[in-house]
Amino acid sequence: MIEVKINGLFLTQSQASGVILKELKGDRTLPIIIGEYEAQSIALGLEKIKPPRPITHDLALSMLDSLMANIDRIVVTELKNNTYYAIIYLTQDSKKYEIDSRPSDAIALAVRRNIPIFVEEEVMEKGAYTPEDVQDTEGSPLNLAEDRLQKLKNELQEAVEKEEYEKAAKIRDEIKRLQSRH
């Protein structure tokens, strides 16, 4: 498992919200598209803003407090069909529980309490960007695909710079598909 921090929130050109997770001991970043409400809740948690009445994530934490249950960590566990999955690990009276969750909800809880966030290595491999994804490919043995690959890497760099993460994810996947052929 890779420990990550929230590196920011973003809005795509199609007005979809997202969160960027960055590994603590490395250069990879993992953008995850999330709902607008969850993005707002994460932003409130990051800014330590308390609404006048508890919103859903605050309510969930209040219930856990009343039950004397603690969240130990959250883990983004899978990426299937472009959908991310997470587990919230709880402890109550020395009993351990694993609660299925959307990553956005788990992250919204985590930011309110400084709960560690982790991503499974396999998920990072599938979905994360590395600096190498946007660097030059000079000298690589890609033969006829080399020009196409270079063009895609340039497009990826541009998409990342413009914070067009949805587009960048598609370009990254195409780069990985081309690289796996050689």
Both tokens of residue 157? 């760099």
Instruction: Determine if the pTM surpasses 0.75.
Output: no
What is the span of the domain harbouring residue 65?
Answer: 2-125
Q: Are residues 116 and 38 in the same domain?
A: yes
Please tell me whether residues 79 and 95 are part of one structural domain. yes
Looking at residue 101, its pLDDT comes to 97
Task: Say yes or no: 140 and 90 in one domain.
Answer: no
Give the pLDDT confidence score for residue 180 in this predicted structure.
62
User: Which residue is associated with the tokens 């997470």?
Assistant: 86
Query: What's 69's domain CATH number?
Result: 3.10.690.10
Considering the domain architecture, whether residues 37 and 105 belong to the same structural domain is answered as yes
Between CA 75 and CA 158 the distance in angstroms is 30
Same domain as 8, residue 57: yes
- Structural domain tally of the chain? 2
Q: Per-residue confidence of the chain (182 residues) as pLDDT tens digits?
A: 999 999 988 877 777 888 999 999 998 999 999 988 999 999 999 988 888 888 999 999 999 999 999 999 999 999 998 899 999 999 999 999 999 999 999 999 999 999 999 999 999 998 888 766 655 434 434 333 455 667 777 788 787 777 777 787 777 777 776 666 54
- Does 17 lie in the same domain as 79? yes
